[in-house]
Chain A
Amino acid sequence: MKRLLSWLAVLAFASIPLWLNDPYLLNACITTGIFIIAAMSLNLLLGYTGQLSLGHVAFFGIGAYVSALTSLGFDVELFGGIRVVHQPWPVWTGFVLAVVIAGICGYLVGKLSFRVRGAYFVIVTISFAEVVRLVALNWVELTQGPLALTSIPPFTLGLPGLGFFELYGKIANFYLVLVVGLVCYVVISRLTKSRVGRAMVALKENESLAVSVGIDVTRYLILAAVTSAGIAGAAGSLYAHYLRIIDPDVFMFLYTVTMVIMVITGGKGTLAGPIVGGLIFGFIPVIARSFATPELQWILYGALMILIVFVLPQGIVPAIERWFSVTDKDEGRAKLEPVK
């Protein structure tokens, strides 16, 4: 039943470009898709291990910059006059490097920030994102600073016997995002249903108890951080090669907030949560822009955030599941907090 529903959802998403001809809406679908991937990666940390990382946009931005710079090439002089010249590489290597380097950053940040919990953890992660943003803004030689990196090449697709295609258009990018999103979904779903996922949920529920039964808390937290950062890096890479221009604004705090609210609205610790929340918050601007100025849209957005936490603190997906009580046993959903 559950499996059938998932396949129907995939088919429904895949059919969108067939009947949707409005380029603006298709664009909204693609960027929403990219943010859903980022939100899924955040859900691994926030929903399964219970750590609220408010610096997640750093990995997204690092992925975008790594991927763009790999495919564009650069020429910088480091301290001591060492000159580093990089010739442009194919775009797919940029994608792989984005995942790898974002993952390495996830490892380093995890090592540093999992020494602390709660408010301290949140503030370390924000600080990290802000430092990265300031570097992107000020290291003009590498990143062009506020002038932005432009003419980033699009992804190419090699088909055997048919040659290479550049994925320029919106439809091509839509399917690309859909495929990457599916892969990420499968990775996260496999991970959370495995022993590792159960260990993560255990340490979220009760850290001291998890330690006492022999779960190496820091190891699992770092594993979650690396996977999560890698996926966010992949989303960043998609973003860079779709928009084909990026500036230090990709590190905006509000992007992290968007990812967090997508996860919370949909339901943290559920596989479908980030997708449901992502669709809602991805399309609110599309609807709101018809009747509100940008400031009013943001006011609405903030008010909605507060309202959701007040009314649906567990998110939509758990609420629907409780309504229909279709919770099957091995869907990998994290156990929710006990009812207060």
Chain B
Amino acid sequence: MDEFLQHIVNMLILGGTYALLGIGLTLIFGIMRVVNFAHGELYTFGAYFVYLASAVLGLNFFLSLVVALAFGCMLGAAIEFLLLRPMRGADIDTTMIVMIGAMIVMQNTEQYVWGGVAKSVSTPFGESTLVIGPVSVAWLRVFVFCAALALIAGSYLLINRTKLGKAMRATFQDRDTASLMGVNIQFIYMATFAIGSSLAAAAGALLGPVYVISPRMGDIASLKAFAIAILGGLGSIGGATIGGFILAFAEELGAGYISSGYRDAMGFLIIILVLMFKPTGLFARSERIG
């Protein structure tokens, strides 16, 4: 039972950052119809930005997180402008291949600039842990969880309460009508990609210090983001939030009770099961997919 409680706590902490990853991906897909294969690399860049700001430039840890978020946002806007804007109107497979190319370039740039040796970031939390009954959890992880929740809440508010969010939702529902009503579609696309990218960078910036930072960490992050988005239904933000926690739960239980080697297989099994039994995902509005 104690072990199970520990798994639940781990699940909550991992789930928060997974949800961030999933929300970013699902937002980009829902509004732009782009499957963002570079999502995991934006996550990795987020982690490296924190490393760069805190370990190399010597900034405060919390400030470094903000810097990473801002840089993720700018990187996303740049990718949108350079690669996706010229591809408007291309079919989904074509943009997918462009994004795979971008993924390869970004991953090897990380490898080239920072080398293959994993980096770690020191944090003001050190090794101290919070102990509640049988469960113990590092303060760093508690902070990561709270920050992730704050960012999730922030993106909800952005989408549901601001004018930009309203324009984004309108574009999601019907691009052409939104355009006729005076929504600047080009700007919405760029904003969407930038926000989605900054959420991915934030997930990397938060999880990077918990683990270590290496150029290959993005591979599995992309695939996890796909699993989360499919589970929640591509384009559903609430679905992605819950999907993040479900994936974290499945991974924790899979690693704890089956075999740690198959931890990463859980996401794929979820994808396959969801698409077999409820192909629209758990929470999305129905959409033609086959």
Contacts and interface: CB of A to CB of B under 8 A. Distances in A.
Interface of A: 52, 112-120, 122-124, 126-128, 130-131, 134-135, 137-138, 253-254, 257, 260-261, 264, 293, 295-296, 298-299, 301-306, 309-310, 313, 340
A261 B97 CA distance: 8
Interface in B206-257: 219, 223, 226-227, 230, 234
A127 B105 CA distance: 23
B86 interface: yes
B108 A128 contact: no
A215 B279 CA distance: 24
Interface stretch (B134-142, B147-155, B174-182, B265-273): B265-273
A312 B94 CA distance: 12
Contacts of A128: 268, 272
Q: Which of B87, B103, B275 has the most CB of A within 10 A?
A: B275
Nearest to A268: B93
A340 B290 CA distance: 25
Given A115-B279, A119-B29, A120-B230, A130 B112 contact: no
B35 A305 contact: no
Nearest to B281: A120
A301 B112 CA distance: 14
A260 B99 CA distance: 13
Contacts of B96: 52, 119, 122
B186 interface: no
Given A134-B265, A261-B97, 13 more contacts: A119-B29, A122-B35, A123-B226, A127-B268, A130-B268, A134-B262, A134-B264, A253-B219, A260-B97, A260-B100, A306-B83, A306-B105, A309-B94
What size tier do the contact residues of chain B reach?
35 or more
A309 B97 contact: yes
A114 B262 CA distance: 26
B198 to A, nearest CB: 22
B287 to A, nearest CB: 10
B93 A299 contact: no
A295 B111 contact: yes
Given A123-B230, A124-B271, A295-B111, A306 B101 contact: yes
Contacts of A131: 265, 268-269, 272
B132 interface: no
16 contacts: A112-B272, A115-B290, A119-B234, A122-B93, A123-B226, A126-B223, A131-B268, A298-B104, A298-B108, A299-B104, A299-B112, A302-B100, A302-B104, A302-B108, A303-B105, A313-B90
A340 B89 contact: yes
Contacts of B105: 298-299, 302-303, 306
B93 A52 contact: yes
Contacts of B272: 112, 124, 127-128, 131
Contact of A116 (B89, B90, B267, B290): B290
Given A124-B271, A138-B261, A302-B108, A118 B102 contact: no
A289 to B, nearest CB: 14
B56 interface: no
Contact of A137 (B29, B89, B103, B261): B261
B94 A313 contact: yes
B60 interface: no
B271 A123 contact: yes
A115 B290 CA distance: 6
B230 A305 contact: no
B129 interface: no
B289 interface: yes
A298 B102 CA distance: 11
Contact of A130 (B93, B230, B261, B265): B265
A337 to B, nearest CB: 8
Nearest to B100: A257
Contact of A299 (B108, B219, B223, B259): B108
Given A115-B290, A119-B29, A120-B279, A309 B230 contact: no
B244 to A, nearest CB: 16
Contacts of B275: 112-113, 115-116, 120, 124
B92 A296 contact: no
B98 interface: yes
Max chain A CB contacts within 10 Å: which of B108, B223, B227? B108
A293 B97 CA distance: 24
A299 B35 contact: no
A46 to B, nearest CB: 8
A131 B264 CA distance: 9
Given A120-B279, A122-B96, A123-B271, A299 B29 contact: no
A127 B108 contact: no
A138 B108 contact: no
Contacts of B262: 134, 138
B173 interface: no
A112 B98 CA distance: 27
Contacts of A115: 275-276, 279, 290
Nearest to B29: A119
B122 interface: no
Nearest to B111: A295
Contact of A134 (B230, B234, B261): B261
B109 interface: yes
A305 B265 contact: no
Contact of B101 (A124, A253, A302, A313): A302
A278 to B, nearest CB: 16
A260 B101 CA distance: 11
A95 to B, nearest CB: 29
B219 to A, nearest CB: 7
User: 4 tightest A-B contacts by CB?
Assistant: A302-B104, A305-B101, A302-B105, A127-B268
